[in-house]
A and B are shown apart, each in its own frame.
Chain A
Amino acid sequence: MESPHVKLITTRREFLKSALCGFGYLAFASLATEAAAAQRNPLAPSAPHFRPRAKRVIFLFMRGGPSQMDTFDFKPQLNKDNGKTVNKDDELLGSPWPFHRYGESGLWVSDLFPHVAGHVDDLCVIRSMQTDSSAHPQAVPLIHTGDFQFTRPSIGSWVLYGLGSENDDLPGFITINPSRVFGGPANYGSAFLPAAYQGTRIGWEGKSLKNARIRNVSNDRFPADVQADQLDLIQSMNEGLLSEHHADPKIEGVIDSFELGSRMQDVAPRVMDLSKESKKTLELYGIGEDTTDNFGRQCLLARRFAEAGVRFIELGHGSWDHHREIKDGHERTCAETDKPIAGLLTDLKRRGLLEDTLVIWGGEFGRKPELQYGSGRGHNADGFTFWMAGGGVKGGQAYGVTDEYGSKVVENPVHLHDLHATILHLLGLNHKELTYRYGGRDFRLTDVHGRVVNEIIG
């Protein structure tokens, strides 16, 4: 892929970047005059609170709730007790899929994820996740915003607000094929944070990604050279205004936005164009195969965005909500995602990106060990599995324990607020200090909760 940074312009922003840690920063801070603080490019990179382990996040959101005891949380006792009656009239359902040990770590993975299983030594499997609600409408906003009671900023918005964007050519927070249900856009919205921190959507869940694009990055009216002339005219008018209004930061902001916007125009379609990828790479992600094509594209796009410096990338996939026919259902959803995810991990690793890219996999909750409607499993908020890879987490380990059936956490619980605190921590942000004042009160992603799970950090 052609480097997106072909047209490097020495901007104040870059100067600032290099000066961030030094004394220069103080001088700049004092230079910021009227409204400069408010008018600076809200997406300019800013220093984390401490040394980060990860620079960016790829969140693979499996909407509907994947079943932990059928994927990453092996429960031999459940299989033994298959059909046994519990809680008066519930019947246990052993996993229909065999588990095997993989890698040097010997972690258990079921046959649903044969490709991902090849990466277990990079995975930190958190088997003790908990959330506050076992209903989708609450649990989906919870996992995204830490709240369901009120409309709050998405975790991607918080991260972008905390760190700014690493690139000048693309949005800093991109969500690919999000769902329209359970809050829909509120799950990547910025709520009371400025709109600059909202997620940029590409596609919708369940729709083909082939022709999806970022809004307004091109028009059919003007050829590139004519638009370049037009941009020159706009910027010339703006410079004229600026010369009259002594370094007005608002006008500078407009000038910058066109500079960045025009670069985004060049870069975004190129980053989104998968045609230059080798056949081998496409195959690695399962692109071209019916089952894996769409999620494969999502994963490959995620890698390309990560490479280009996008701060937070979310990939949506659904639905995993198999109250009935879990056998067919999970076989399908796993088949759709297994190879693409494995491809993503392989690709990130060989490009050296996995080191500072935090990959997170999970749904809004997990599933219950008992049989539901004769062929499926119900929702489980008291114990479920997430895994993370790269970005400073200790791979090849499982953290936390559920009971013998995988129903409830019995050791080392990780509440979703803890997960959020840990994600921010890995990005170099203290979840207690990342605050925003709205309506007279300081708000944070983790509200008054959150514990950094140090044990999973490598």
Chain B
Amino acid sequence: MDTPGKPAYRRISWTQAFQTEWLRTLIWLGIGLVLLALIPKTGSAAPSSRDRDADGKRHWAFKPPVHPPLPALANASWPKSAIDHFILARMESKGLVPVRDAAKQPLLRRLYFDLIGLPPKPSAIDNFVNDASPNALEKVVDRLLASPRFGERWGRHWLDVARYAESSGKEFNFTYPHAWPYRRYVIEAFNQDKPYDRFIREQLAGDLLPSRSREERDEQRLATGFLAIGEKRHNANQKTFRMDMVDDQITTTSKAFLGLTVGCARCHDHKFDPIPTEDYYSLAGIFLSTKTLYGTSKKKYSDHPSGLVPYGPDAEKLHKAYQAYKKRLKKTETKLEEAEKKLKDLKSKQKESSESKTKDGEGGSPTDKKVAAAKAKVKRLKGKVAEIKEGKPAAPRYAMGAKEADKAVQAHVAIGGNPSKQGKQVPRGFLSAIDVKDAPEIDPKASGRLALANWIANRDNPLTARVIVNRVWHHLFGRGLVESVDNFGALGKRPSHPKLLDYLAVRFMENDWSIKELIRSIVLSRTYRLSTHYDRQNGRIDPENSLYWRMSPRRLEVEPLRDAILSASGALNLRRPSGSPVTKLGQKLARKFPYKKMNPANHHRTVYLPVVRHYLPHMLQEFDFPSSSLVIGDRAETTVPAQALFLLNSDFILEQSKKMAKRLFKSEAKGKTRRIVLAYRLTLSRSPSIEEVTEAASYLSQSQKGLRSRYPEKERRRLLAWAGLCQALFASAEFRYLIEPPRQSHPPREALSRLNQEIDHGKPPR
């Protein structure tokens, strides 16, 4: 669909625009038409499969990355790192000149949000601005990388890709109370800087890896939650249920780690990539030989019960005892139910006979004795149930995950994707298009998951490292070097900087697949440090900024946005919660829970909010949280009125802005001006200009007047007026984007104190 773009030059006159751009467009249009007429008509049919496979193997992404030499530069003094060499070389070839470096404050804000997803505290800003040492930046970066907040930020990026959610989705949507340990595993993995190849192995086959301790063993098993948390239709028939689950596992594994869409090959050979149907069923065999542990019990709409992964100290022993307890309890409860039913029957019989008794005057029916006996039995059983319950053993902790199935199987090709139309049987294996030297062999008795994991987490796999370094780059610049971050196939975009991509991939593997090292090297590059300022000259040559002549302004995703609000209001609870609100709900239909029950008041970081498919917390719904039914490495970014309304009227924002106002009053900042300065520092990580202080002050007095009709108490009016100011800051574009503020001079000390006098001591501001 072609939709007209909105004109970007808001402030230039139309005549001006028409004179220049309009004419240019006409010329281009003419050239375009001529060219179109000259191009011979080509068939639109998909290439034949032989051509496709031969072409496909030549596709850039299937060739191994090689360490490229540094390109020569005209301006050799600009780069600070190898990354900068590659970036500048492309710029120079197009006549682009990088803009200036970002100022210290916005750079710090950028680093904080990018690395830990939180704004810097005012003291951190001061420290950084006043630190003149040459390694001031390195110190900050290392501190942020070491912060436990890092994993909460970067773990969430991975959870987007892993389609993490706490319910089964689809039509019946059962809550998954034990999904959250996987989330915790991911956060921890990023905090520990777990080598990425190991991270892959653990998620696909953690249960099969050797371990040195109980803790390590648990951790690895939790990782396999990756395979279990996908969407599931728990009431489908057995065959469909299995094949759909396997499909989810294949699709997610191939997209997440390899950037390939293998799912198409379920029904037919991939139309554009060299992925034949047999490859799909080779992978299917691996997952069919795996037992996925998603932990549902048998009930209405849920026909495929499965266990879970018990973990923690003595998990196995506790699990056994707990299972025995549940069995015993159930047995006794069933007996009790039967006894109660019998008693009820007898009682009604007794009533009938007593009615007839009064009629004919006879007494002592045998029913009375039976009732007495039944009563005694009920009493005894009730006592027994209570006794069993009293002896309830501690339950182990549970998580979702996977283990080997009892038997390894080979899958049959399902013709046209229809599981009841069996084609030929294919051995378990990997994708034939990707050559991995000394590819691991699949043990005939094993599922092949470990071999698959080793095949993916392999230095010879041309895709694995490229895909992850590109994901990291995407999060730090708002765009991947390969823009289609989840698709490195023929239909994906080609890399804008192929050499840089290879350089990063090779270095990454050489650095023991360290994500933190990778991030460190990128954020310390000069390219990352560029200002967000626009440059007309460059803009004309490269309007999309695809060659990185500046840092593109980026919007905060919903997590850092909400966290920044909570941080400014002082309400943010940085403690890592154990469990999830969903854990308490048990395994039930999601639709049964009212919103508040699923989303109790929660001031934890946003990554810890419950993610129940189709029933997201309101703020997540409004601000482009990705669909957790799909692998999404590149979130949509839409700006719509519903977001404005959320920021103007939602309970959350009203509550937090009031909290922040209270915080301002409790702080050491005395007087209106100082409080305004603090409000700016808490939200925008900078001091306001004199004009901004004046504007805020006049807003405060204006709104206090306006509030008179509704709020008789002065104190309350004052607080709410300040809350209104805090809310305006939350709503401002500057708060919601990583973008440099309007150019301004720092308010000189004496100007500030003069303002203080004026604003705080009666003299009205201008």
Contacts and interface: CB of A to CB of B under 8 A. Distances in A.
Interface residues of B, number: 106
Contacts of B625: 195
Contact of A195 (B21, B29, B624): B624
Given A12-B6, A34-B8, A257-B644, A194 B545 contact: no
Given A31-B7, A34-B8, A246 B737 contact: no
A209 interface: no
A34 B533 contact: no
B486 A439 contact: yes
Contacts, number: 306
Contacts of A244: 533, 740-743
B532 A218 contact: no
Interface stretch (B314-322, B566-574, B705-713): B705-713
Interface string B471-494: 000000000000010110101100
Interface size class of A (residues with CB under 8 A): 35 or more
Given A41-B639, A229-B703, A236-B695, A137 B534 contact: no
Interface string A424-458: 00000000011110111100000000000000000
A381 to B, nearest CB: 16
Interface stretch (B139-147, B405-413, B728-736): B728-736
A162 B624 contact: no
B631 A246 contact: no
Contact of B615 (A149, A185, A243): A185
A272 interface: no
B724 A226 contact: yes
Given A140-B171, A241-B734, A250 B639 contact: yes
B78 interface: no
Contacts of B643: 257, 261
A180 B487 CA distance: 34
Nearest to A437: B491
A37 B638 CA distance: 11
Contacts of A35: 544, 552
B216 interface: no
B642 A29 contact: no
B417 to A, nearest CB: 10
B292 interface: no
A138 interface: yes
A143 interface: no
Contacts of A247: 8-12
B10 A440 contact: no
B728 A230 contact: yes
A148 B171 contact: yes
A233 B728 contact: yes
A278 B715 CA distance: 45
B423 to A, nearest CB: 20
B733 A186 contact: no
Contacts of B543: 33-34
Contact of A43 (B10, B555, B640, B724): B640
A12 B10 contact: yes
Interface string A172-206: 00000000111111100101101110101000000
Given A250-B555, A440-B261, A151 B8 contact: no
A196 B6 contact: no
B646 interface: yes
Nearest to A153: B627
Contacts of B731: 234, 258
Nearest to A261: B644
Given A42-B638, A217-B645, A252-B10, A237 B552 contact: no
A296 to B, nearest CB: 26
Interface in A409-437: 433-436
Interface stretch (A19-27, A70-78, A287-295, A315-323): A19-27
B706 A184 contact: no
A80 interface: no
A221 interface: yes
Contacts of A137: 170-172, 235
A16 B649 contact: no
A148 B231 CA distance: 12
Contact of B10 (A20, A162, A231, A242): A242
Contacts of A185: 614-615
Interface in A1-42: 12-13, 16, 20, 25-42
Given A233-B699, A241-B742, A251-B737, 7 more contacts: A39-B637, A150-B629, A186-B614, A229-B699, A241-B739, A439-B631, A441-B261
Interface of A: 12-13, 16, 20, 25-44, 46-47, 136-138, 140-141, 148-151, 161-162, 164, 171, 180-186, 189, 191-192, 194-196, 198, 200, 215-219, 221-223, 225-227, 229-231, 233-234, 236-238, 240-258, 260-262, 264-265, 433-436, 438-441
25 contacts: A12-B7, A16-B4, A28-B7, A31-B21, A41-B640, A46-B3, A140-B171, A151-B231, A183-B173, A184-B591, A223-B707, A226-B707, A233-B728, A242-B10, A246-B11, A246-B534, A248-B739, A250-B555, A251-B737, A252-B8, A253-B639, A257-B639, A258-B641, A261-B645, A439-B255
8 residue pairs, one from A and one from B, having the closest CB atoms: A32-B5, A261-B644, A137-B171, A40-B6, A253-B639, A440-B487, A261-B641, A33-B543
